[in-house]
Structure 1
Amino acid sequence: MQLQNKVIMACAGSGKTWGLCQDALNSSSRDKKVLMVSFTNKGVESLKREYEKQNFGVIDQHIKVHSWYQFLLKDLIKPYQSYFLGDINIIKSFDFSNMYGVRDFSKKNTLPYFLNKNGDVKANKASEFAIYLNIKSNGSVIKRLEEIYSCIYIDELQDLTGRDIDLLELLFKSSIRVYCVGDYKQSTLKTHNAKANKKRSGEYIFSYLETLKDSHNLQIVKSNESRRFIQDIADFANLIYPEEPIKSVKEASLDYMGVYQITKNDIEDYIRTFQPSVLRFDKRTSTHGYTALNFGVSKGMTMDRVVIYPNGPLKNFLKGISKTLKNPHKYFVGVTRPQYSLVFVVDKLSENEYFKNTVMKIGNKSLDVTKFHM
């Protein structure tokens, strides 16, 4: 009998990856393997680190950790390529060159539809190809998975898109227990550029999965409590993305916690004293020589203190000129990285509804800053 599938929809800092690894660690099955999947290589490393942290530095032999595309290639496509190609050991890898761009006019379900001239699988057709092979093999692709794995864990569920969703539904219907975690507010990446299932993936995936609770044996758990950051940061993040506001359960007592604006003339003193991580929307935003991570790259990370060099839309938001941010997902990721303080670098200070003038004392200097208040 299949155990109930589980979907965790939880906010940044709620412990999604921790809980996923905890569940995998306590999995009672040892006669079959357990698979843990995340879209990016960084996500894979995060899963490995967390599992090792909980298991005395060891990843158990029955635990396999793959990226989404490794899973598709190794477990779904290569073992059953003969049903399409009439031979084995032909497919070696993926072609990622047209994942987000060129339109493909190849006839559906033909060789050029799924493979390039070198025999590599077109990455944006990978899930569709796996589903097609399952049909051609009379369900053998999923049956093989059922023989190998007792449970499949999927991190960053909101990254799945297109025919990934159809494949996910097949997994939910299998005898394998499927445990997924994600946050629709952090839909900054996607496995490929897909026309199919746009209203069932990314930021919409959890509302869609709600409709499958009974038919696909899903337990859906929601949490808006964050253990990562203090309430001031939660309040600011809720301005960025107001739906289903986050509540902080983190307590701390450090100097100058909260959300601030500091001028570019004074930021050097702050950075030298507090050694924060520096973030930006993308490489088009100057950080005045400081090494920085883009918001999207920082997803999944926890930092003590963060300095953000805002781009144009974020500057207007901070000034109160713009009350909302278009496509707020990346901004939300950026502002939810720090535990204790979030600082925006601005040309000049100006008070508004949320930011009020105050002074920050650093060594012998008193810096004029504005601090966020709800």
Structure 2
Amino acid sequence: MDKSVIFAVAGSGKTSLVIDRLSLDQRALIVTYTENNYRHIRHRIIQKFGTIPPHITVMTYFSFLHGFCYRPLLQLELDTRGMNFRLPTNPRTPLSDMARFRDGSRRLYYNRLAKLLEMRKCIPAIRARIERFYDCVYVDEVQDFAGHDFNLLLDISKAKAGMTFVGDFYQHTYDTSRDGSVNKSLHDDITKYEKRFREAGIKVDKTTLGHSWRCSTTVCDFINAKLQITMGAQQERVSEIITIEEPGQAATLHADPNVVKLFLKEHDRYDCHSLNWGASKGMDHFGHVCVVLGADTWKRYQNGNLHEANPQTRNKLYVACSRANGDLYIVHDKLLKPFKKAR
């Protein structure tokens, strides 16, 4: 059975690759992290087949974790009542105590459910369920799997079914969960990250989705140079990188409904066509994009050391810049302060 993780760049066609591999004669499970991507994948499947075929299942990760992995195996025995998506306040409770995994209302802590399945020796049964119902499993947004969830992913990859994990390491902006020091440094180093997959018997593919259909050569070169994140363009296409430094230019850009303005945070206070950097992940319908930098990132941009920003900021900035299908505008947020609404 083929087991592979495909490292992608932004706009390289991650969803298209998964959809293209689906067929009417193969039972497939697709697991993704965000609700946005869940809806997008369902839409693309319906575009291809006219409906969601009965042998193709799309699930968000926590629906898979609770509905497919936990409920058939432990629900009756443990008599729990759904999931608690708040962090537990009992870090010192021993693993042998169910209070570590379940709150006072009998809801399961979301960040420890994967560990509970391991502790109750459910992994072989989960693999067996995968083998019974599916020929192949696709996991999208794999870069966001963290904590115990990442360990579970590697454990179930040993099931006798095809396994394809797809993700962009540098688009890691959220975590499925965190629990203390478990996999705390997982995303600190891409080489060590790749090694975890290889050690689990999963082939690492860095070429299939290494070029972007969305971004121009100009934008790809900008990301390579400024963020030191390697990506290429599928087509030789030129656009512009435009640095805005005049208030009048900023005002014109703010008023332009055809250019989305992407902010690190609080985009809704600027009364324009806008989003936050992280929230724009997965969106593929923008033309020209304006990325708004705060004081620190603007200084780094001017000094040529933008790549040295903290990893989370750098990753979110990569997400924002790589939304551009056309030109990319860069502006200091101070030029847009006149449009910022008070709280």
**What TM-score comes out, normalization by structure 2 length?**
0.86
Is residue 2:187 matched to residue 1:202? yes
Of the three residues 241, 248, 252, the one matched with 1:259 is 241
Q: Is the 8 A contact 1:5 1:218 kept in 2?
A: yes
Taking a change above 3 Å as real, the CA distance of residues 131 and 205 of structure 1, as seen in their structure-2 partners, is farther
Partner of residue 166, structure 1? 151
Using the TM superposition, give the Cα deviation of residue 204 of structure 1 relative to its aligned residue in structure 2, in angstroms: 4.4
Gapped runs of 5+ residues in structure 2? 336-343
In structure 1, list runs of 5 or more residues that go unmatched. Answer: 349-374
Give the structure 2 partner of residue 332 of structure 1.
318
Residues 210, 50 of structure 1: alpha-carbon distance in 2 compared, 3 angstrom cutoff: farther
Deviates more, 1:178-187 or 1:142-151: 142-151
Over aligned residue pairs, what C-alpha RMSD do you find? 2.5
* C-alpha distance in 2 between matches for 1:206 and 1:15: 23
2:298 corresponds to which letter in structure 1?
A: K
- Structure 2 partner of 1:357: none
> 1:125 matched to which residue of 2?
112
Structure number having the greater strand percentage: 1
Structure 2 partner of 1:81: 74
- Listed one character per residue, the Cα deviations across residues 174-201 of structure 1 (whole Å, up to 9, x for unaligned) are 11221110111111011112321234x3
Cα-to-partner distance string for 1:297-345 (whole Å, 9 max, x where unaligned)? 1111121111122112221123227453222111111111111111122
Seen in structure 2, the aligned counterparts of structure 1 residues 250 and 111 have a Cα distance that, compared at 3 Å, is same
CA distance in structure 1 between the aligned counterparts of 2:161 and 2:187, rounded to whole angstroms? 23
Q: Percent identity?
A: 22
Q: Contact 2:257–2:272 (CA<8 Å) still a contact in 1?
A: no
- After superposition, the C-alpha distances for 1:115-139 in whole angstroms (9 at most, x for unaligned) are 1111111011021122223x1x583
- Against the structure 1 CA distance between its residues 48 and 249, is the aligned structure 2 distance closer, same or farther, given a 3 Å change threshold? same
Distance 1:7 1:178 in 2: 8
For 2:135, what is the secondary structure of its paired residue?
strand
Counterpart residue number, 1:36 = 30
Which whole-Å CA distance do the structure 2 matches of 1:147 and 1:208 have between them?
30
Amino acid at match of 2:38: V
- The answer on 1:94 being equivalent to 2:83 is yes
**1:206/1:75 CA distance change after superposition, 3 Å:** farther
The answer to whether the aligner puts 1:26 opposite 2:29 as a matched pair is: no
* Aligned residue type for 2:258: Q
TM-score scaled by length of structure 1: 0.79
Give 1:97 deviation, angstroms.
1.4
Contact 1:146 1:175 (8 Å CA) reproduced: yes
Query: In 2, Cα distance between the equivalents of 1:106 and 1:59?
Result: 43
Q: Which residue in 2 is equivalent to 1:279? A: 262
For 1:295, the equivalent position in structure 2 comes to 277
State how 1:116-265 maps to structure 2 within 5 Å. 116-133=103-120, 135=121, 139-194=124-179, 195-199=181-185, 201-202=186-187, 204=189, 207-210=192-195, 212-213=197-198, 216-223=200-207, 224-243=210-229, 245-252=230-237, 257-262=239-244, 263-265=246-248
- Report deviation, 1:111: 1.3
Query: Does residue 92 of structure 2 align to residue 105 of structure 1?
Result: yes
AA in 1 matched with 2:162:
R
Q: Is the 8 A contact 2:32 2:59 kept in 1?
A: yes
Compare 120-129 and 262-271 and name the one that shifted more. 262-271
CA–CA distance in 2 between the matches of 1:132 and 1:309? 46
The letter for the 2-side match of 1:13 is G
CA contact (8 A) 2:254 2:261 kept: no
* CA distance, structure 1, for counterparts of residue 274 and residue 144 of structure 2: 23
Does the aligned pair in 1 maintain the 2:6–2:206 contact within 8 Å?
yes
Higher helix share: 2
| CA deviation after TM superposition for structure 1 residue 274, in Å | 6.6
CA drift of 1:26 comes to 2.8
Q: Report if the CA contact (8 A) 1:96-1:122 is conserved.
A: yes
Moved over 6 A (4+): none
